[in-house]
C-alpha cells in the first residue's frame, strides 16, 4: 500500500491532527506515506515526520484544474494507489479520481454533525461516494448514517488515536494558580458548545474563585466567536476564563493543568480526550458521540447529560474538592487510552480492513 492523506488545511484541529497521525504512522505501516494539503498550510506541518512525503496543492477554488493536475503528477511520481481523504477533502479526492481512475479513495469522516449537513452538500457527498472504496467513521452514529445515506458498501468504525508531542518546548504560560487550572482543548466552533462552559464557569467563579478555565483552540472570528465573547464579558469572566487561541505546545499546556473538560454538544471521538488521557488528567465530559464508550462513570472520568450545566457543575466541583479522586480518574483514563487507543492497535485494524477492500 502506497498511501497519501488528504486534508484541506494543517491548522490545529481534530481531523487535521488525525491526518498527520496517519501520515506518520504509515511511514512504517505502509510501503510509502504522504500527506497532501489542499488549501492552507498550518502549524501541524511541523509535526510531520521527515520520512513523510509532503505536497501542498495551493488550491484556490473548489474546482481548480491546474491544482488537480499538479496533484495527479505528484501521485503518479510516487506511485500512490490509495488516498485517505479526511472530512471535506473528499471532493478533492473525487476530482483526482476523475483524472487518475486507478486511485482508490478512502473517506475518513471525523465530523460529529455529518447527519445534519445541508441537503445540497449531502447530494454532492452522495455522488462522490459512488467512487469511494471504503469509508472510515469515528462513531457508530456516523456509521449508521453513512450506510443509510451514502453509496459505499464498506464502512468501518475506527476510533482515533494520538501521540503527545513532548518535544515542543513550553511556549504558553497559563495564567491562574498552579494546581487550580481547568483546561479545554477545542476550536471555537458551535459543536464544542462553549456556552455551556461559560455557564459552568460562572458558577465556579462564585463557589471556587481560585480555580480558572483555560481555553485552547482556534478563534475563527465568526458569529459564534462574537457570541461567546459577548457572553464572556457579560458574565464578567475575564479573570476566570482565559483564551489562548491556537497553540502547538499542547503537552506542556496539559502539564500545567489539573482538570480537563469537554462541553461539546456533538462529537465523534475527540482527539482532545485522548490527549487528556495520555496526560493523566481527570475529565468531566458531556455524554455525546463515542465518549461514553471510553469513559466509565467514576472509574476513569465523569459523564454529564448533554446541555446540562447544573449537573456538569456538580460533577466538576467533586473533582475540584477531591485531589485523590482527580488522581484516580486520571490514572484510569490513561490506562484505558494506552490499552485500547494506541497507534499500533488502530493502524493494524485499518491495514487489515484495507486488505479486504
**Whole-number pLDDT of residue 333:** 97
C-alpha cell at 281: 488528567
Do 34 and 149 fall within a single domain? yes
Beta carbons of 99 and 71 less than 8 angstroms apart = no
Do 40 and 129 fall within a single domain? yes
What SS3 state is found at 214?
strand
What are the φ/ψ torsions at residue 88 (nearest 5 degrees)?
Answer: -70, -10
Do 104 and 206 fall within a single domain? no
**Residue for grid cell 462513531:** 139
Task: Kindly state whether residue 112 falls inside one of the protein's structural domains.
Answer: yes
- Give the angle subtended at the CA of 232 by the CAs of 227 and 236, to the nearest 5°: 145
Beta-strand runs (E) in 153-211: 155-157, 181-185
Beta carbons of 272 and 186 less than 8 angstroms apart = yes
Max CA-CA distance within the chain? 62
The tally of domains found in the chain comes to 2
CATH of the domain at 87: 3.40.50.2000
Task: Kindly state whether residue 172 falls inside one of the protein's structural domains.
Answer: no
**Whole-number pLDDT of residue 178:** 98
Do 7 and 110 fall within a single domain? yes
C-alpha cell at 115: 447527519
Do 140 and 234 fall within a single domain? no
Task: Kindly state whether residue 6 falls inside one of the protein's structural domains.
Answer: yes
Task: Kindly state whether residue 170 falls inside one of the protein's structural domains.
Answer: no
Task: Kindly state whether residue 166 falls inside one of the protein's structural domains.
Answer: no
Rg from Cα positions in the chain = 21
**Whole-number pLDDT of residue 163:** 78
Do 113 and 213 fall within a single domain? no
Do 25 and 155 fall within a single domain? yes
**Whole-number pLDDT of residue 122:** 85
Do 134 and 93 fall within a single domain? yes
**Whole-number pLDDT of residue 125:** 93
Task: Kindly state whether residue 292 falls inside one of the protein's structural domains.
Answer: yes
Do 150 and 9 fall within a single domain? yes
**Which residue range(s) make up the domain with 77?**
2-161+342-356
Sheet holding 2-9, edge to edge: 53-56, 32-40, 2-9, 82-86, 104-109, 132-137, 155-157
Task: Kindly state whether residue 305 falls inside one of the protein's structural domains.
Answer: yes
**Whole-number pLDDT of residue 139:** 82
Task: Kindly state whether residue 37 falls inside one of the protein's structural domains.
Answer: yes
Do 57 and 186 fall within a single domain? no
Beta carbons of 86 and 108 less than 8 angstroms apart = yes
Q: What tens-digit pLDDT sequence spans the chain (357 residues)?
A: 999 999 999 998 889 999 999 999 999 999 999 999 999 999 999 999 999 999 999 999 989 999 999 999 999 999 999 999 999 999 999 999 999 999 999 999 987 555 556 677 789 999 999 999 999 998 888 899 999 999 999 999 998 888 777 777 889 999 999 999 999 999 999 999 999 999 999 999 999 999 999 999 999 999 999 999 999 999 999 999 999 999 989 999 999 999 999 999 988 788 899 999 999 999 999 999 889 999 999 999 999 999 999 999 999 999 999 999 999 999 999 999 988 888 888 999 999 999 999
**Whole-number pLDDT of residue 112:** 55
Do 133 and 6 fall within a single domain? yes
Do 150 and 282 fall within a single domain? no
Amino acid at each position: 500500500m502506497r498511501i497519501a492523506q488528504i486534508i484541506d488545511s494543517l491548522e490545529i484541529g481534530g481531523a487535521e491532527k488525525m491526518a498527520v497521525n496517519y501520515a506518520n504512522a504509515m511511514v512504517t505501516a505502509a510501503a510509502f506515506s504522504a500527506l497532501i494539503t489542499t488549501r492552507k498550510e498550518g502549524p501541524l506541518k511541523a509535526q510531520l515526520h521527515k520520512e513523510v512525503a509532503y505536497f501542498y496543492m495551493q488550491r484556490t477554488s473548489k474546482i481548480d484544474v491546474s491544482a488537480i493536475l499538479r496533484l495527479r503528477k505528484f501521485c503518479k511520481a510516487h506511485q500512490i494507489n490509495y488516498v485517505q481523504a479526511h472530512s471535506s477533502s473528499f471532493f478533492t479526492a473525487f476530482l483526482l479520481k476523475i483524472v487518475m481512475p486507478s486511485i482508490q479513495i478512502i473517506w475518513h469522516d471525523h465530523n460529529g454533525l455529518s447527519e445534519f449537513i445541508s441537503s445540497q452538500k449531502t447530494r454532492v457527498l452522495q455522488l462522490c461516494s459512488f467512487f469511494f472504496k471504503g469509508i472510515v467513521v469515528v462513531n457508530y452514529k456516523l456509521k449508521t448514517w453513512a450506510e443509510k445515506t451514502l453509496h459505499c458498501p464498506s464502512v468501518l468504525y475506527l476510533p482515533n488515536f494520538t501521540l503527545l508531542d513532548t518535544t515542543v518546548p513550553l511556549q504558553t504560560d497559563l495564567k491562574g494558580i498552579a494546581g487550580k487550572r481547568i483546561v479545554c482543548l477545542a476550536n471555537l466552533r458551535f459543536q464544542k458548545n462553549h456556552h455551556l462552559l461559560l455557564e459552568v464557569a460562572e458558577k465556579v467563579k462564585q463557589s471556587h474563585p481560585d480555580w480558572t478555565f483555560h481555553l485552547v483552540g482556534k478563534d475563527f472570528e465568526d458569529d459564534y466567536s462574537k457570541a461567546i465573547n459577548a457572553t464572556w464579558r457579560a458574565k464578567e469572566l475575564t479573570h476566570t476564563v482565559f483564551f489562548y487561541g491556537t497553540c502547538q505546545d499542547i503537552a506542556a499546556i496539559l502539564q500545567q493543568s489539573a482538570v480537563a473538560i469537554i462541553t461539546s454538544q456533538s462529537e465523534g471521538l475527540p482527539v482532545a480526550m485522548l490527549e487528556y488521557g495520555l496526560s493523566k488528567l481527570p475529565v468531566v465530559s458531556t455524554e455525546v458521540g463515542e465518549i461514553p464508550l471510553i469513559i466509565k462513570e467514576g472509574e476513569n472520568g465523569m459523564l454529564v447529560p448533554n446541555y446540562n450545566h447544573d449537573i456538569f457543575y456538580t460533577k466538576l466541583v467533586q473533582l475540584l474538592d477531591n485531589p485523590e479522586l482527580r488522581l484516580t480518574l486520571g490514572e484510569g483514563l490513561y490506562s484505558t487510552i494506552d490499552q485500547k487507543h494506541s497507534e499500533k492497535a488502530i493502524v493494524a485494524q485499518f491495514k487489515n480492513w484495507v486488505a479486504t477492500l
